[in-house]
Chains A and B, each alone.
Chain A
Amino acid sequence: MRSAYLYNFAQFADWPSNDQPTFNICTLDKVAESISPEVLANKTVNGKKIKLSRFSESADTAECQMVYLNTADIGYAAKIARMLSTEHVLTVGEDSSGNGPGIINLSVKNNRLVFDLDLAKARKANISLSSKLIQLAQKVRE
């Protein structure tokens, strides 16, 4: 379910152009159970094939267009988010408080997966989010 959401987010977000041959989605931990690679396989974003990879702090952040902060360690997640805050990376965290680490933060409400948006962070990362996405968000931080 989360993999579909990630893909959908990619659909409604705009990055400054880059010369990457693939659309890279990176995860902090191992690709979690919540992300099923087969869902994303054979899917494209802006005509580029989706590639899943592990995020490493040393690596070039340009390698990732989207980082899924799939860690239980809130502090670590926040640290990474902060680190990526100026990069053209769409960060997706897990939080229901309304003050999550990512530009987009997923949470479960009434047995349904919902999300918040932090537009300030998005602006900082120079990523524009579609108004359609904004409409669907539970909370939107300006």
Chain B
Amino acid sequence: MFSVRLKNLSIQIKLLLAQGIVTISALLVLLAIVLGYGYTSFRNDLYKDLDTQATIIEHSSTAAILFGDKNAADEILSTFKLMGSINRAYLFHDKGALLAVYEKEVKAKPEAPYGNKVNLQALRQLRSSFNTHILIKDIVFDHHVIGTLFIEANLDKLNTRLSLLILAVAVAAFMGLIISLLISLKINKFLTQPILSLTTLVEKVSSSYDYSVRSHLLTNDEIGSLAMGINAMLSSIEQRDERLETELAKQKETEKALDRLAYFDTVTQLPNRHYFNQQLHKKIAEAASINKICCLMFIDLDDFKVINDTYGHRVGDQLLADVGQRLKGTLKSGDEVFRIGGDEFAILITDNNQFSHARESATKVIRHCAEKFIINNNDLYIGVSIGISGSTQPMIQAADLLRSADSAMYRAKNEGKNNFKFFSKEIDDESHFRNYLENALRSALSRKEFEVFYQPIVNLRTEQIVGFEALLRWHEPIYGDISPAVFIPCAERIGVILPIGEWVLREACLQQKKLRDEFGIEFMMNVNLSGRQLREFDVVHKILDIVSETAINPSSLNIELTESVLMDNSQSTINKFHALRAAGVSISIDDFGTGYSSLSYLKRFPINTIKIDRSFIMDIAHDSEDQAITLAIIALANTLKLTVVAEGVETLEQKRILRLNDCEKAQGYLFSKPLPSNDLKSIIETFSTSVYHQTA
């Protein structure tokens, strides 16, 4: 407690205290020495005086004692009157009889102050005290003790002198203390002034954050070096401060840019998905507070990828920017538009329960976007599919709203694109089914729910099976067999198409090898490759790996691709085709005639085979247009030295027409439906023996 209080004192007070303690200690020691010496010397003087006096009395009293002369003895003792310090004195005979008495007159007790009977034996018991000094001296004459002298002296004089000395020394000490304190104060001020100035400096710096102030102390002692140290420190802080400030300014600028980057899409200059998520939360809450509905319009451009692939990314980006501007143009105040994905936009509006504003807006958006875009002198048309959801249920979450709008948009797309759909129970169910499918697909492979079926491809001239198309079947445990048309797009969307596709390819290759080993015939194995698979950079590597792994002849593998895959005419895709061809693998175009047929790709891509879509074959016998198209495709393929395969051949009539027009190969229910691997042996055997005669 005391030490704490001591710690809190200023250095000046501490110094003063220390000096005070030292000074007082020194003064006390001095005082003790002086007083001790004074007391001893005074007392010694007094004793010496007294001794001398006693000796004188002794000498002068011998005769009086010897002669028993009382008067003379009294007279001798009376000389003590001159000495005020003698209280009393007695002279005794050698026999102890009192001879002479001297007693100082005491005013208070004029009569016999020490009693009438003075007894030497009693007197001998007395001892010197603080106030009195007792001296008893035997009087010797001629070697004989002839009497005794008793003297009692008071020490008043000594004590008075001592008191005076104490007073004088105390006064001197006090003066000394005062003077030393004054000097100390001066010295302390001199000593602590630099420290105080440093303290003030540091306080000023820490209170004002002004690092430009400096100490001007120029002493050469430790404080001087401390001041220099502080100055150096302040300089470095100041410099660092400056650096920090510049850095901070830079950082703020960067942050601003990042912020803009974080919240804005540079292509369309619209707020991005990040900002959209924030706004969505906010708007839902806002709408709820005013009993309105937050409406989310999820807009997806139809077939944007085609335009992007056809005209290039620059045109695609410009189109996105233009679409963004048009969407912005449809907005009413309070509405907001965001770009939330590659070709996805979102509009947030606050609407009433009837969604009248949303309906109006969606119509307007579709109408505006349907108008021609002119980019780089290209006339472009684009459709938009819109899914609309609203915060109709209380406590609806942003994620729910977004999912609902996405489902509705998905539905709009499925229903022919370029329209809008409100989220509904039905859509909800559908999206739930889709979600179920997606989840089931993820584990279908490991649960061995897939099976590869093989549909024979027949040479129309020889009526012999020349190959098979591998077709994937999914035996879903709850919904039963699910059509590839349903689950393949789904698998493509969630990415599981890659392992599934790989698995199918391996199965098919193994099957090919099995048949070759069994029949000694190299059946051409056709395996479908999804666009998603083709986009993988190492797709060729993977295919060839499986080929060598299963030890099949690469020339007996045919990769089937849909026309839409060929829309991506990037060099890397073309390179993949060439790599496959170089390895001996064939490539065919599936469903030819249904996609975005641009005959130029027939020249650009190293294709072996064209497969005519079943929709043309279906009515080939009755629809002259279909027949014309089919025959034209066959003629085109023959001219380009491409193999032609007709798909979906179901009747003898169809087969007859195709064979008549030099279609080389065909597949369809007429020959065989897709078969499980176990049935392949029998169908091959059947064909090699009896089928020819049946169909002939």
- Count of interface residues, chain A, beta-carbon cutoff 8 Å: 9
Q: Verify A11–B142 contact, CB threshold 8 A.
A: yes
Looking at chain B's contact residues, the main secondary structure is: helix
Q: Verify A135–B67 contact, CB threshold 8 A.
A: no
Alpha-carbon gap, A12 to B66, bound state (A): 10
Q: A133: nearest residue on chain B (CB-CB)?
A: B63
Tell me which residues across on chain B come within 8 A of A132, comparing CB atoms. 59-60, 62-64
Question: Smallest distance from the beta carbon of A2 to chain B beta carbons, Å?
Answer: 12
Q: A5-B67, A8-B67 are in contact. Are A135 and B72 (CB under 8 A)?
A: yes
Q: A11-B141, A11-B142, A136-B72 are in contact. Are A130 and B67 (CB under 8 A)?
A: no
Tell me which residues across on chain A come within 8 A of B66, comparing CB atoms. 8, 11
Q: A1-24: which residues lie under 8 A (CB-CB) from chain B?
A: 5, 8, 11-12
Q: Verify A136–B142 contact, CB threshold 8 A.
A: no
Is B536's beta carbon under 8 Å from chain A?
no
Question: Smallest distance from the beta carbon of B631 to chain A beta carbons, Å?
Answer: 188
Tell me which residues across on chain A come within 8 A of B72, comparing CB atoms. 135-136
Q: B64: nearest residue on chain A (CB-CB)?
A: A136
Select A130's contact among B63, B64, B69, beta carbons within 8 Å: B63
Question: Smallest distance from the beta carbon of A114 to chain B beta carbons, Å?
Answer: 9
Q: A11: nearest residue on chain B (CB-CB)?
A: B142
Alpha-carbon gap, A12 to B67, bound state (A): 11
B 439-471 to A, binary, CB cutoff 8 A, 1 in contact else 0: 000000000000000000000000000000000
Q: Verify B69–A136 contact, CB threshold 8 A.
A: yes
B 128-164 to A, binary, CB cutoff 8 A, 1 in contact else 0: 0000000000000110000000000000000000000
Q: B75: nearest residue on chain A (CB-CB)?
A: A135
Alpha-carbon gap, A114 to B343, bound state (A): 162
Tell me which residues across on chain A come within 8 A of B142, comparing CB atoms. 11
Tell me which residues across on chain A come within 8 A of B62, comparing CB atoms. 132
Tell me which residues across on chain B come within 8 A of A12, comparing CB atoms. 63
Alpha-carbon gap, A128 to B570, bound state (A): 166
Alpha-carbon gap, A94 to B505, bound state (A): 181
Alpha-carbon gap, A132 to B58, bound state (A): 11
Tell me which residues across on chain A come within 8 A of B59, comparing CB atoms. 132
Question: Smallest distance from the beta carbon of B94 to chain A beta carbons, Å?
Answer: 13
Tell me which residues across on chain A come within 8 A of B64, comparing CB atoms. 132, 135-136
Tell me which residues across on chain A come within 8 A of B63, comparing CB atoms. 8, 12, 130, 132-133, 135-136
Q: B40-94: which residues lie under 8 A (CB-CB) from chain A?
A: 59-60, 62-64, 66-67, 69, 72
Tell me which residues across on chain B come within 8 A of A135, comparing CB atoms. 60, 63-64, 72
Q: B72: nearest residue on chain A (CB-CB)?
A: A136
Looking at A8, A11, A132, A133, the one whose CB has the most chain B CB atoms below 10 A away is A132
Question: Smallest distance from the beta carbon of B139 to chain A beta carbons, Å?
Answer: 12
A 79-103 to B, binary, CB cutoff 8 A, 1 in contact else 0: 0000000000000000000000000
Alpha-carbon gap, A132 to B141, bound state (A): 13
Q: A134: nearest residue on chain B (CB-CB)?
A: B63
Tell me which residues across on chain B come within 8 A of A136, comparing CB atoms. 63-64, 67, 69, 72
Tell me which residues across on chain B come within 8 A of A11, comparing CB atoms. 66, 141-142
Tell me which residues across on chain A come within 8 A of B67, comparing CB atoms. 5, 8, 136
Q: A12: nearest residue on chain B (CB-CB)?
A: B63
Alpha-carbon gap, A12 to B64, bound state (A): 12
Question: Smallest distance from the beta carbon of B79 to chain A beta carbons, Å?
Answer: 13
Q: B76: nearest residue on chain A (CB-CB)?
A: A135
Alpha-carbon gap, A8 to B64, bound state (A): 10
Question: Smallest distance from the beta carbon of A142 to chain B beta carbons, Å?
Answer: 19
Question: Smallest distance from the beta carbon of B17 to chain A beta carbons, Å?
Answer: 69
Question: Smallest distance from the beta carbon of A132 to chain B beta carbons, Å?
Answer: 4
Q: B73: nearest residue on chain A (CB-CB)?
A: A136
Alpha-carbon gap, A11 to B60, bound state (A): 14
Question: Smallest distance from the beta carbon of A45 to chain B beta carbons, Å?
Answer: 9
Question: Smallest distance from the beta carbon of B468 to chain A beta carbons, Å?
Answer: 173
Alpha-carbon gap, A135 to B61, bound state (A): 10
Alpha-carbon gap, A115 to B60, bound state (A): 18
Alpha-carbon gap, A135 to B60, bound state (A): 9
24 contacts between A and B (CB under 8 A): A5-B67, A8-B63, A8-B66, A8-B67, A11-B66, A11-B141, A11-B142, A12-B63, A130-B63, A132-B59, A132-B60, A132-B62, A132-B63, A132-B64, A133-B63, A135-B60, A135-B63, A135-B64, A135-B72, A136-B63, A136-B64, A136-B67, A136-B69, A136-B72
- A sample of 13 more A-B contacts (CB under 8 A), given A8-B67, A132-B59, is A5-B67, A8-B63, A11-B66, A11-B141, A132-B60, A132-B62, A132-B63, A132-B64, A135-B60, A135-B64, A136-B63, A136-B67, A136-B69
B positions within 8 Å CB-CB of A? 59-60, 62-64, 66-67, 69, 72, 141-142
Can you list the 5 inter-chain pairs with the closest CB atoms, starting with the nearest? Answer: A132-B63, A8-B66, A136-B69, A136-B63, A136-B67
